[in-house]
Every structure is written in C-alpha cells, then in structure tokens.
C-alpha cells in the first residue's frame, strides 16, 4: 500500500494517499460505503503515471481519519462530507482539482461541483447526480425499490446499529457481493479495505448518514443553509462524465433521470462486462480514462 499521510483539515485529522508529482494537475478521488481508498489503487496508479497528483482520502469514520476533538458530532450528512473534502483541498493548498467518486464519494463530488465549481476542473460521478435531502427521501417508493434499501431501514433501529457494530465486516462482504454480483474479488482485497472499518467512529458515522437521509437524525445547524441549497437540486455546469456499471446491484437512478442536472459539457458512459457498484476498482482503466477526458475538456 502507498504511504498514508496525515493532515489537519477542518474538524479532522485526515488520512490520505498522495500519488504522482506534487506539481501535477490535482485529482481528488472519494470512496463510498462500505469501501475505502483501495477502490482507487489501480486507477490512481494510471493517473499518477500520466503526471497527475492523485489525492485519495479516507472519509470521516474510515481508516486513519480521526476527529480532532472528542466533542465533534459524529455526523454523516452530505454537507459534512463535502466540507471535509473542501477543507482537505484547502489544507493541501490545492486550488482546483478534477473530482471523482462513487457511492458516498460521488454524492460528495457532486456537491463540490454544484456549490464550489471554481474548485473543480471536472467531475466523474459513478451513478450520476446523487445530491438529495431528507424531505425528498420521505416520498415512498414502490415495494421492489424499497426492498433495495433494506439496510437503510435496518440502520434506523437500535438493533441495526448493534448489528452493524457486531458484524461490520460480514455486512461489508454481503454488500460487496450483492452490489457487485459478478465481481470476483479475492480475500486479500477485501481484508485491505475491511481494515478501514475498524475506525472507532465508523459505526456512528454510517448510522447517522442513513438516519439523516430519512429525516430520523438531525444535522448540524451550521450546515442548514448549505443543505437548503442542496435540497433545491442545484445544476452542475462543469465538464462531467457520469458512469454506470452494467451489473450494478445497488439501488441507483437511471441515467435519464439526472441528465438535465448537468448543464455543461457532458457524457454518460455505461461500462459493460459485469461491472458492479464499485466501478473504480472493477473497471479502473475506464474510470481513469474518464478522469483524463474531463480534464482535457477543461482545457
């Protein structure tokens, strides 16, 4: 594994990988749940070899990322994760970066691109536009769609919180298998990522994230104005490529549902070959190519 660096950024002491030349065009890559920085190992190497500086942080609640204060709320709402990413760019003195990610990381990258476009050269978002709000999430879905979110409802209960605490690795393995049913990952790959879930704040962050989405847990008041803006579904006008695997077993919107949200140069790419939810790890060449392409569009 590459060296994990640490830096104080906002509320956090962030653990992150930093590959490639420090004077290269910056790329910020953001992982999702239940995954970690290793989702980008191969794509980061490709980009670093092409002269890019690739920064891959552990999100709050993962790996070596830690809260600087014991009093900080263990908050997993989308605004908190986005301001973490912005604080990291500031701490590293990176004025602009191509931002990319999947799952929670795609949502965070979407927020950066929508609210702080001046900090983003381009966007690569697996599963597209994922910005949401508790109000929007109160709308019921058809039963088959609700079934895909079973863990969200499980996490809303005390039993679910206790279950995730006790079985977090079993839980992650189950999600990996169901979200990427054709991905044949090996035990070494799983173990590398599963170590990130031993973070002492991991369970609290995951539980809060899903409860906040359903309006069952409050966010931090300082994020209320940002969340109000995000609830309006702000458009994204920077160069963007959205991506989807042809075998994504996790709940995800169809590409046509979010096409209108992207008002700049845009392309959607469906990656074939049994690619699931963890697209950067399952199809690293295609993910890295998307980063290269949006950067070229930015000029």
12-38 residue pLDDT tens:
999 999 999 999 999 999 999 999 999
Residue 263: name the closest of 287, 236, 234, 243 by CA: 236
Distance between CA 94 and CA 85 in Å, rounded?
Answer: 11
- The yes-or-no verdict on residue 232 having pLDDT over 70 is yes
pLDDT tens digits for range 243-270:
999 999 999 999 999 999 999 999 999 9
What distance in Å separates the CA atoms of residue 295 and residue 299, rounded to the nearest whole number? Answer: 7
Residues 174-189 have a mean pLDDT of 97
pLDDT of residue 51: 98
Q: Is the pLDDT of residue 61 over 90?
A: yes
pLDDT average, residue stretch 39-58: 98
The Cα 28–Cα 100 span in angstroms is: 6
DSSP class of residue 260 equals G
3-state secondary structure 128-181: CCCCCCHHHHCCCCCHHHHHCCHHHHHHCCHHHHHHHHHCHHHHHHHHHHHHCC
Beta strands in the chain (DSSP E): 5-9, 12-19, 26-30, 53-57, 66-67, 97-101, 120-126, 240-245, 266-271
pLDDT exceeds 80 at position 1: no
CA distance 181 to 97: 32
The pair of structure tokens assigned to 106 is 């795609």
* Cβ count within 10 A of residue 116: 16
The two tokens of residue 283 are 């199809």
Nearest to 217 by CA among 163, 165, 151, 152: 152
Range 174-199 average pLDDT: 98
59 band by pLDDT with thresholds 50, 70 and 90: very high
Please name each of the domains of the chain with its CATH number. Answer: 5-298 (3.40.50.1820)
70-128 pLDDT, tens per residue?
Answer: 999 999 999 999 999 999 999 999 999 999 999 999 999 999 999 999 999 999 999 99
13: its two tokens: 């002491």
Tokens of 20: 């490639």
Pairing of the two strands 266-271 and 53-57: unpaired
Give the residue-averaged pLDDT of 211-223.
97
Is 73 in contact with 220 (CB distance < 8 Å)? Answer: yes
How far is 77 from 14, CA to CA, in rounded Å?
17
Whole-model pTM over 0.95? yes
157-172: pLDDT as tens digits:
999 999 999 999 999 9
Predicted confidence (pLDDT) per residue in 273-296, tens digit = 999 999 999 999 999 999 999 999
Residue 2 has a pLDDT of 82
């Amino acid at each position: 594994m590459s060296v994990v660096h640490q830096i104080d950024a906002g509320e956090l002491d962030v653990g992150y990988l930093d590959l490639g030349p420090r004077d290269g065009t910056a790329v910020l890559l953001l992982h999702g749940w239940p995954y970690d920085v290793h989702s980008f190992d191969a794509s980061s190497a490709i980009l670093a070899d092409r002269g890019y500086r690739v920064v891959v942080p552990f999100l709050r609640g993962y790996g070596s990322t830690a809260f600087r204060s014991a009093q900080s709320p263990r908050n997993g709402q989308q605004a908190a994760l986005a301001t973490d990413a912005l604080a990291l760019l500031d701490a590293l003195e990176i004025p602009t970066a191509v931002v990319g990610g999947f799952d929670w990381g795609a949502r965070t990258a979407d927020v950066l691109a929508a609210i702080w476009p001046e900090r983003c050269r381009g966007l690569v978002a697996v599963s597209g536009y994922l910005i949401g709000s508790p109000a929007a999430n109160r709308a019921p879905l058809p039963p088959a769609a609700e079934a895909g979110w079973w863990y969200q409802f499980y996490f809303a209960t005390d039993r679910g919180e206790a279950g995730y605490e006790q079985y977090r690795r079993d839980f992650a393995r189950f999600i990996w298998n169901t979200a990427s049913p054709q991905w044949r990952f090996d035990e070494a790959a799983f173990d590398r990522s599963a170590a990130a879930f031993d973070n002492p704040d991991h369970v609290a962050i995951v539980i809060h994230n899903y409860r906040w989405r359903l309006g069952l847990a409050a966010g931090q008041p300082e994020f209320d104005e940002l969340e109000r803006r995000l609830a309006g579904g702000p458009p994204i006008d920077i160069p963007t490529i959205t991506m989807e695997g042809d075998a994504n077993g996790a709940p995800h919107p169809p590409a046509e549902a979010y096409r209108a949200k992207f008002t700049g140069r845009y392309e959607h790419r469906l990656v074939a070959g049994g690619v699931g939810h963890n697209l950067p790890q399952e199809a690293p060449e295609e993910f890295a190519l998307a980063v290269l392409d949006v950067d070229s569009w930015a000029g």
